[in-house]
RNA sequence: GGUCCGUUAGCUCAGCUGGAUAGAGCGCUGCCCUCCGAAGGCAGAGGCCAGAGGUUCGAAUCCUCUACGGACCGCCA
């Protein structure tokens, strides 16, 4: 149940009644009518802007509409009062019994909080998609966690979600990987090797070189690239993908599918995709203008095969073939997205790293062209993560092989902390990650604060001494929950379904994290009230009925916390240690 | 030169897609532990929402310009 949606529906039927009464003209758009919690709790529980939205098209005074609407609304048993305020706001107070209904729904309705927004539509979230050349590092981790939480959020909102990883195993970087592994292979045979520019010096390739030796023995020794490059490339890529899969598992990520770029080559898929664009008149031979501002030193104009992405909002047309006739990296990406469209996805989401910002417009243009603008593609950029230790910035150097990996994070602070913290910021804002602060066990640390709330509720349940099954709690008389601090908690719970919908619509999982913090905060506040006011303690000795009502309230909090943490991929702690 | 993102309290950040007197944490000030868990709690001070125009009943939110910070910008992925 979504109380805000219910009340909005009530507002709409009340408007129908006003139309029937001849008070309001018919046929007005109701799109913009919203029912929201007012900023200031003194204004009531819910507010609607209906009168102000309708005033202009109806050519009526907003306050007059509001007055008429208020009279209709007041007839509903759920509405305690409806008052006109300001320029035409309508503030409503909800009968306290309604909140009890929300709590019961949270306890007994497995679908509580879920949204029907997605209506079972097929949606793909493509995320991580890191080059298969090494372990995942911090930057990847943010995109991975973000994409995963977004996918879970959309599942919770009734989308049929596929999580997919695009393996860039077709380009030159895989040759570099193969050569680097070959060096480690030689090393495993006791040779001295030097890692020059254009090779990957990281230690993580040592075991891969050994494994290669175990597999092929000395077969590749003293042989030219033509004898081993292809085999080593495949061997190395497979090894890297195993590594990456394990990295992902360490933060609780399981992909539904891994899609290989290489699998597109030699199958005619790329040609098909480009031809599809060509048939729409979007492919031509041409020469690009040099980029303005800083001029590349070796710039010379060359004729290339270009995609007319400017027809779909890009700034310049983009090459799909190099001047030597080979595909650019963009071409297989077009084919890959064409494949997504052909697989029947209704919506697509790509999660990219911040360094791919310049890539967004052309990819959107390609998908728009390939799907005749029928399949929306949203591209979310995961901004940079700045690492700190003891408040000091942490320098990473990829060249020296001293970059911080996903494993470093998980080993030091754990998966839960890593995930939650990375989701406490909008994806498009840079994120600070301080190794010391994120593991601090105090209120300053949202991860701890939210998990602590969950664990604290567990502690009460253990000590309750009454039947605390959800069915029993839901059947309890919740009419005894009348204190403002208790109702505050119930109201926050009532906002949960609405928040899920907002977060899902905006593809913004960070809203879940902030909501959970607010809910935990309301709960902790209520708990602390019990320190001064004995009647607010959850366990009322000798009064099982009241105890059960209070426990119903906090158990509902726990249910929502668990749902929310589940979306974020964070374990709800049973107890704190 | 262009594109994208950002700019909100001393600091770190939210702000529900245009609503009422802009919120939270930290820090600061003042109170509060015999009490279901004080690894805190309650209250208070603190704002020209970067700046200037515009759109309208109404703007932190939408549009234009400017300033500052970051990312990116042909045959690398």
ipTM of the assembly? 0.91
Q: Which pLDDT score, from 0 to 100, does residue A577 have? A: 63
For B16, nearest residue by CA–C1' is A502
In this complex, the residue with its CA at the shortest distance from the C1' of nucleotide B26 is A444
Contact by Cβ (8 Å): A535, A453: no
Distance CA A289, CA A292 (A): 8
Residue A288 CA, nucleotide B9 C1', distance (Å): 49
Least Cα distance to A390 among A424, A438, A422 occurs for A438
* Strand B nucleotides within a 7 Å radius of protein CB atoms: 1-7, 12-17, 19-26, 35-42, 56-57, 70-77
For A229-267, the pLDDT digits (tens) are 999 999 999 999 999 999 999 999 999 999 999 999 989
CA of A80 to C1' of B58 (A): 28
Q: Which residue has the tokens 């494993």?
A: A407
pLDDT band, very low/low/confident/very high, at A85 (cuts 50, 70, 90)? confident
Overall average pLDDT of the A156-165 stretch: 97
Question: What is the spatial distance, in angstroms and rounded to an integer, between the CA atom of A224 and the C1' atom of B45?
Answer: 75
Interatomic distance A225 CA / B22 C1' (Å): 65
Say what the pLDDT of residue A294 is.
56
Residues A273, A275, A276, A278, CA torsion sign: positive
Alpha-carbon span A195 to A179, nearest angstrom: 10
pLDDT at A551: 93
Shortest-distance nucleotide from A427 CA to C1': B5
Q: Closest nucleotide to A510's CA, by C1' atom?
A: B14
pLDDT value at position A298? 67
Per-residue pLDDT at A402 exceeds 70:
no
Confidence at residue A167, expressed as pLDDT on a 0 to 100 scale: 94
pLDDT at A401 over 60: no
- Rounded, the Å distance between the CA of A39 and C1' of B46 is 21
Distance A362 CA to B68 C1' (A): 29
pLDDT > 70 fraction of chain A, expressed in percent and rounded: 97
Residue–nucleotide distance: A71 CA to B69 C1' (Å): 53
Look at A416 and A39; give whichever has higher pLDDT: A416
Question: Tokens 């029993």 appear where?
Answer: A472
Classified as helix, coil or strand, A91 is strand
Q: Is the pLDDT of residue A352 over 80?
A: yes
Task: Look at residue A281 and tell me whether its pLDDT is greater than 60.
Answer: yes
Confidence band (pLDDT; 50, 70, 90) for A358? Answer: confident
Can you give the pTM of this predicted structure? 0.94
Average pLDDT value for residue range A283-290: 85
- Please write the tens of the pLDDT for every residue from A473-529: 999 999 888 888 888 899 999 999 999 999 999 999 999 999 999 999 889 888 888
Q: Kindly tell me if the per-residue pLDDT of A397 is higher than 80.
A: no
The C1' atom of B73 and the CA atom of A168 lie apart, in whole Å, by 22
Q: Is the pLDDT of residue A296 over 70?
A: no
Task: Give A120-144 pLDDT, tens digit per residue.
Answer: 999 999 999 999 999 998 889 999 9
Q: Which residue is nearest to nucleotide B6 (CA to C1')?
A: A429
Nearest DNA or RNA nucleotide to A547 (CA to C1'): B36
Question: What pLDDT score was predicted for residue A96?
Answer: 86
What's the CA angle centered on A225, arms A221 and A229, to 5 degrees?
100
H/E segment holding residue A200: none
Find the nucleotide nearest A301 (Cα to C1′): B74
pLDDT at A534: 83
Would the pLDDT of A440 be above 80? Answer: no
A440 token code pair: 């601090």
Nearest nucleotide to the CA of A324, by C1', is B75
> Tokens at residue A306, please?
């270009």
CA distances from A548 to A101, A144, A374, A467, A545 (A): 15, 41, 52, 8, 5
Minimum-distance nucleotide, CA of A44 to C1':
B20
- What's the confidence (pLDDT) of residue A302? 81
Give the model's pLDDT for residue A78.
Answer: 94
Whose C1' is closest to the CA of A300: which nucleotide? B74
Residue nearest to nucleotide B58 (CA to C1'): A87
Q: Does residue A88 register a pLDDT over 80?
A: yes
Provide the CA A293 to C1' B65 distance, Å, integer.
22
Task: For residue A296, give the nucleotide whose C1' atom is nearest its CA.
Answer: B74
CA of A444 to C1' of B27 (A): 12
């Amino acid at each position: 149940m979504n109380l805000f949606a219910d009340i909005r529906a009530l507002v709409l039927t009340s408007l129908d009644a006003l139309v029937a009464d001849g008070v309001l003209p018919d046929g007005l758009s109701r799109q913009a009518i919203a029912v929201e919690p007012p900023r200031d709790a003194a204004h009531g529980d819910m507010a609607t802007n209906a009168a102000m939205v309708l005033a202009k098209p109806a050519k009526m005074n907003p306050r007059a509409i509001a007055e008429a609407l208020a009279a209709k609304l007041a007839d509903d048993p759920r509405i305690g009062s409806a008052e006109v305020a300001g320029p035409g706001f309508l503030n409503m107070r909800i009968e306290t019994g309604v909140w009890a209904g929300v709590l019961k729904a949270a306890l007994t309705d497995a679908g509580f909080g879920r949204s029907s927004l997605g209506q079972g539509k097929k949606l793909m979230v493509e995320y991580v998609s890191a080059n298969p050349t090494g372990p995942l590092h911090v930057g990847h981790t943010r995109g991975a966690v973000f994409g995963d939480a977004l996918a879970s959020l959309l599942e919770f909102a009734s989308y049929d979600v596929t999580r997919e990883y695009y393996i860039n195993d077709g380009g030159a970087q895989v040759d570099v990987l193969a050569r680097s592994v070959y060096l480690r292979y030689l090393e495993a045979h006791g040779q001295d090797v030097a890692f020059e520019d254009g090779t990957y010096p990281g230690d993580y390739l040592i075991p891969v070189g050994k494994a290669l030796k175990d597999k092929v023995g000395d077969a590749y020794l003293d042989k030219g690239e033509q004898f081993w490059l292809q085999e080593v490339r495949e061997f190395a890529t497979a090894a890297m993908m195993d590594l990456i899969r394990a990295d992902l598992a360490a933060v609780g990520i399981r992909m539904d599918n891994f899609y290989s770029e290489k699998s597109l080559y030699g199958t005619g898929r790329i040609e098909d995709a480009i031809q599809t664009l060509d048939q729409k008149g979007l492919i031509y031979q041409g020469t690009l203008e040099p980029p303005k501002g800083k001029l590349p030193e070796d710039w010379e104009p060359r004729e290339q095969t270009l995609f007319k992405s400017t027809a779909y909002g890009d700034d310049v047309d983009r090459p799909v073939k190099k001047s030597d006739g080979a595909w650019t990296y963009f071409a297989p990406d077009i084919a890959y997205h064409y494949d997504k469209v052909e697989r029947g996805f209704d919506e697509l989401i790509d999660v990219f790293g911040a360094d791919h910002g310049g890539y967004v417009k052309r990819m959107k243009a390609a998908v728009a062209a390939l799907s005749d603008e029928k399949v929306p593609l949203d591209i979310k950029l995961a901004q940079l993560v700045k690492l700190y230790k003891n408040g000091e910035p942490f320098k990473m150097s990829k060249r020296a092989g001293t970059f911080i990996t996903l494993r470093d994070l998980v080993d030091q602070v754990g998966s839960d902390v890593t995930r939650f913290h990375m989701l406490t910021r909008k994806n498009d804002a840079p994120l600070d990650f301080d190794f010391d602060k994120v593991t601090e066990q105090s209120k300053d640390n949202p991860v701890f604060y939210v998990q602590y709330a969950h664990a604290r509720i567990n502690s009460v349940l253990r000590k309750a001494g009454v039947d605390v099954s959800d069915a029993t709690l839901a059947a309890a008389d919740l009419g005894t929950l009348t204190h403002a601090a208790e109702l505050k908690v119930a109201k926050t719970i009532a906002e949960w379904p609405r928040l899920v919908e907002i977060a899902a619509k905006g593809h913004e999982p960070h809203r879940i994290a902030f909501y959970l913090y607010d809910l935990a905060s309301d709960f902790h506040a209520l708990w602390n009230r019990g320190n001064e006011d004995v009647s607010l303690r959850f366990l009322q000795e000798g009064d099982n009925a009241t105890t059960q009502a209070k426990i119903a309230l906090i158990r509902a909090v726990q249910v929502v916390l668990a749902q929310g943490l589940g979306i974020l991929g964070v374990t709800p702690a049973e107890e704190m240690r």
